[in-house]
């Protein structure tokens, strides 16, 4: 079980960077992951990235130094969504 978790939200119409909407350690990390599974939200595991995200303030945009890492997450997410649609 991961001991840390973070959730991001991105509104591509806003023109702004993604925001951190939830972070947690220990039991709270488990609850974030369980909720994502319940809502069928894909889970991306990257220890270095989550370590950078868990200490950020909630509802704030991610800092510029994390843009590249987060872009990689969204590319992965888009590929997974495409694969899921293609299976239907």
Tens of pLDDT, residue by residue over 9-40, are 999 899 999 999 999 999 999 999 999 999 98
Q: Are 20 and 59 in contact (CB under 8 A)?
A: yes
Residue 88: pLDDT band by 50, 70, 90 thresholds? Answer: low
pLDDT of residue 33: 95
Residue 1: pLDDT band by 50, 70, 90 thresholds? Answer: low
CA dist., res. 5 & res. 3, Å (int): 7
* Stated length of the chain: 88
Fold of domain 4-87 = name from scop (3.40.1690)
> Residue ranges of the domains in the chain?
4-87
């Amino acid at each position: 079980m991961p001991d840390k978790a973070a959730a991001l939200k991105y509104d591509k119409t806003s023109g702004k960077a993604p925001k951190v909407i939830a972070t947690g350690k220990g039991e709270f990390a488990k609850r974030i992951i369980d909720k994502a599974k319940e809502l069928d939200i894909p889970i991306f595991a990257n220890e270095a990235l989550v370590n950078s995200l868990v200490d950020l303030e909630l509802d704030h945009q991610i800092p510029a130094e994390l843009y590249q890492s987060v872009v990689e997450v969204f590319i992965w997410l888009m590929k997974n969504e495409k694969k899921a649609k293609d299976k239907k």
